[in-house]
Structure 1
Amino acid sequence: MQNPDDGDDFALFRSAVKGVKRIEHDRADTGKVHSDAATRKVRQANATAKLGNTRVDGLSDQFIIDVDAEDTLYWARDGVQDGQMRRLKTGQISFEGSVDLHGMSVEKARETLWDFFAEAAKLEVRCVRVTHGKAARLDGRKPLIKSHVNTWLRQHPQVLGFTSCLPKHGGTGAIYVLLKRHMMDGRDD
């Protein structure tokens, strides 16, 4: 190695980088995997493919009612008394069961909700709480699970009505759901 006091900077540089290979192209490697069109099509097909064991539950995803994270939800089936819905909204009808759908995929939330309502029907439960969360999404779109739950409950035959919870029970991140009881027909209609 040469003495740094020689003044020949180029010679010093060449000796420092001795054995280093020259880069053949001038593009940086960003770490992204560049796939070809065929690989991309296979990935898209796999992402949109439904599992063979999809359950038919009567709930449609064709049209989802988008709601904001802080929107208050309220819906009542025709024939449900206003007084009953007021009592539900103010928390005067206590909920007897609760399910939390936080962090689930849409399909998993749908399956969990359907199973939860089936169990509630067996036990003749009158009111339940469904925690859907608010999920403020980074892409600026509406909360996914909250919007789906809002749509599904309007279609579910066992649901008479629902409203957002009081702050102590989850506020706009959860709803009280009034359910139809089968053994006591006449009291729910």
Structure 2
Amino acid sequence: MQDDDFSLFQSAVRGVKPLAHDRADVGKPRTNKKQIATRRANATLSNGETRIDGLSDQFVIDVSAEDELYWARDGVQEGQMRKLKAGQISFEGSLDLHGLSVEKARELLWDFLAEAVKFEIRCVRVTHGKAARVDGKRPMIKSHVNTWLRQHPQVLGFTSCLPRHGGTGALYVMLKRNMLEGRDE
């Protein structure tokens, strides 16, 4: 009977080639250094077009990957900002800026906020990512978004999200509403 089992096994594995390596795949992706270098280079490239949107990059506020961001325009009630920080003001729109160039992120953010204001949306979420970089430099998109939102005339305030909504990789952004329910300030 043992000979039958052995011949059955041999016929079942006929044509199968042994593995060339003896290492297990742990599922952890390798960092593609060339791709990361290309993304970083693209993030600082300019396509030659200048868009006038009132946002300046002259003084970008340097923030680290894990920094919690918080800012409120003068006159915004502390109670409203506490609610925003606690996630008690639901966001009605979301924008993800992961992996974009600084220029593209700026353009999308400006258009996204303009549309949110047009539809009288009170709160949106902007996911900028953390971009924890091995070279120790600041997260590009996070630092720029932090700077741009402070300059945008329709932004009343922003704060880092709760962990379930992105934590320090995203922001709740409270916007002015002009027509509905009176003034927000």
Q: Same fold, TM exceeding 0.5? A: yes
Gaps of 5+ in 2: 1-42
Match of 1:158 among 126, 130, 154: 154
Structure 2 residue aligned with 1:62: 58
Asked if the contact 2:62–2:138 (Cα under 8 Å) also holds between the matched residues in 1, the reply is yes
**Identity across matched positions, percent:** 80
Structure 2 residue aligned with 1:122: 118
Aligned residues: 143
Q: Any idea what SS the aligned residue of 2:117 has? A: helix
Using the size of structure 1 for normalisation, the TM-score is: 0.72
Deviations 1:93-152 (A, max 9, x none): 000000000000000000000000111011110000000000011221011100000000
Using the size of structure 2 for normalisation, the TM-score is: 0.74
Measured after TM superposition, the shift of residue 64 of structure 1 is: 0.5
Structure 2 CA distance for aligned equivalents of residues 51 and 135 of structure 1 = 23
Gaps of 5+ in 1: 1-46
Structure 2 residue aligned with 1:16: none
Structure 1 CA distance for aligned equivalents of residues 166 and 86 of structure 2 = 13
Structure 1 residue aligned with 2:175: 179
Change (3 A) 1:56 1:166: same
Structure 2 residue aligned with 1:169: 165
Amino acid at match of 2:165: H
Runs (4+) of structure 1 exceeding 4 A deviation are: 47-50
RMSD over aligned CA atoms reads 1.7
Match of 1:104 among 92, 100, 103: 100
| Structure index of larger Rg | 1
Measured after TM superposition, the shift of residue 67 of structure 1 is: 0.5
Structure 1 CA distance for aligned equivalents of residues 45 and 146 of structure 2 = 25
| Superposed counterparts of 1:34-49, under 5 Å | none
